Amino acid sequence: MKDIYELFNGIEVDTNVKEMSSVSDIEKKKIFKELNHRIGKAKKQSKWKRALSVAIVTFGIITPAIVGLSFTAYAEDIPFLGNIFNFFSSDGSYEGYDENAEKLDLVQESNGIKISINDTVFDGKTLYITYMIETDKDLGDSPSVNSTPVYGDSGLTGSENISRIEEGKYISVMETEHYYSNDLDEVDVNWNIESVSTEANNNGTVYDGNWNFQFKVKAVETQYVALNETIEKGGMTFTADNIAITPMSFILSYQHVATYDIINNWDNQFVEVEVKDDLGNSYKSLSVSGYGNPKFSKNWTATYNKLYPNATKLILTPIIELSDNETIGYYKNGEQIKANYRTMESEADYEEIRLEDITVELK
């Protein structure tokens, strides 16, 4: 895919800058030194990360207990934070994130509570941030930071999972995604936390403060596989658009369009895709989100865990779930009064349509 730097080829920009005074050798040296410092840092870090990830894998195979041990042994060199992804990865959901993360080490302290952002990974769609809270204050078992990072048009949703690792120390992975229909290369992130509370949504004991983080994140290298497969069944048209394969996950983009029949008969349409590969592995969808016209059609993106490197085919099974909301009463004329929600164990109408498989060649 061509990006702006490729499109700049063959464009003749005015290079006439005579009015500018000359540049001194000292200035050149200074700039080069600064640049050298920055690229040197980037290089060193990636090597270190690679070494670390290899170590984790090896220890992990021998015995999981050693993983914890090896970290404490290196505690001085490797802050615990660097491994938050692994801490939350017991179900495999963050596998591969740590070695692809960009290190930030941003610290903000306010009202006796220290929040440090350690790593971040952006897959073009979802931003993952690992952070740690340290304090002498009693924040209980599951505190909440009452704010989500904002970038692009994100900031509407965020999910996180805070864990207490020891007295006064909590770690978490925050996930937020944007709603553009295509992936982004780089994002400016602004995370402004104004309170930390012992319960979600500013409940319980609330500690006000000001923890403001700003940083840029580049998306990881992504390989795209175009699909453009369309299937029609039962009034629904399903189109698989593409798969974006990142070093730690893959993201499937698809859309659905419903006919009037469906729209008139059902309150909700939800479309998900089961994914298996030719080696028999099945992939878990870590998140599914859809946006668009809530009635007629939606664009969906679903993030799955890391692709097995030896897989050569993926088998996608789209599943369409049609459901009705709760009926909470009846009008005098006998018409139902519908709620705008559906409960977990609802007995309202529900139908599942499994579409035929789509096979994707990866290599």
Give the nearest distance from C-beta 257 to another protein in angstroms: 13
Interaction pattern, residues 72-111, with another protein; x per rule: CB under 8 A: ----------------------------------------
Using the minimum distance from each CB to another protein, give the nearer residue, 130 or 246. 246
Q: How far is CA 295 from the centre of its chain?
A: 26
Query: Interacting stretch for another protein, rule CB under 8 A, among 31-39, 86-94, 167-175, 354-362?
Result: 31-39
Counting contacts by CB under 8 A, is residue 14 touching another protein?
yes
DSSP structure string for 225-287: EEEEEEEEETTEEEEEEEEEEETTEEEEEEEEEE-HHHHHH-SEEEEEEEEEETTS-EE-EEE
The number of residues that bind another protein (CB under 8 A) is 47
Using the minimum distance from each CB to another protein, give the nearer residue, 140 or 155. 155
Counting contacts by CB under 8 A, is residue 12 touching another protein?
yes
User: Which stretches does DSSP call E strand in the chain?
Assistant: 102-110, 113-122, 126-135, 159-166, 169-177, 186-199, 203-218, 223-233, 236-246, 249-258, 268-277, 282-283, 285-291, 297-305, 313-323, 327-330, 336-338, 350-354, 358-361
Instruction: Select from 99, 123, 175, 183 the one that contacts another protein (CB under 8 A).
Output: 183
Alpha helices in 89-213 (DSSP H): none
Tell me how far apart the alpha carbons of residues 149 and 135 are, in angstroms, rounded to a whole number.
Answer: 21
The residues pairing with 336 across neighbouring beta strands, listed in sequence order, are 330
Give the nearest distance from C-beta 298 to another protein in angstroms: 6
List binders of another protein among 260-319 (CB under 8 A).
Answer: 290-294, 298-299
Helices 64-73 and 25-62: crossing angle, nearest 10°? 140
Query: Interacting stretch for another protein, rule CB under 8 A, among 36-44, 105-113, 246-254, 301-309?
Result: 36-44
DSSP letter assigned to residue 123: -
Give the nearest distance from C-beta 308 to another protein in angstroms: 29
**What residue ranges bind another protein (CB under 8 A)?**
2-15, 17, 19-20, 22-23, 27-28, 31-32, 34-36, 38-39, 152, 156, 179-188, 290-294, 298-299
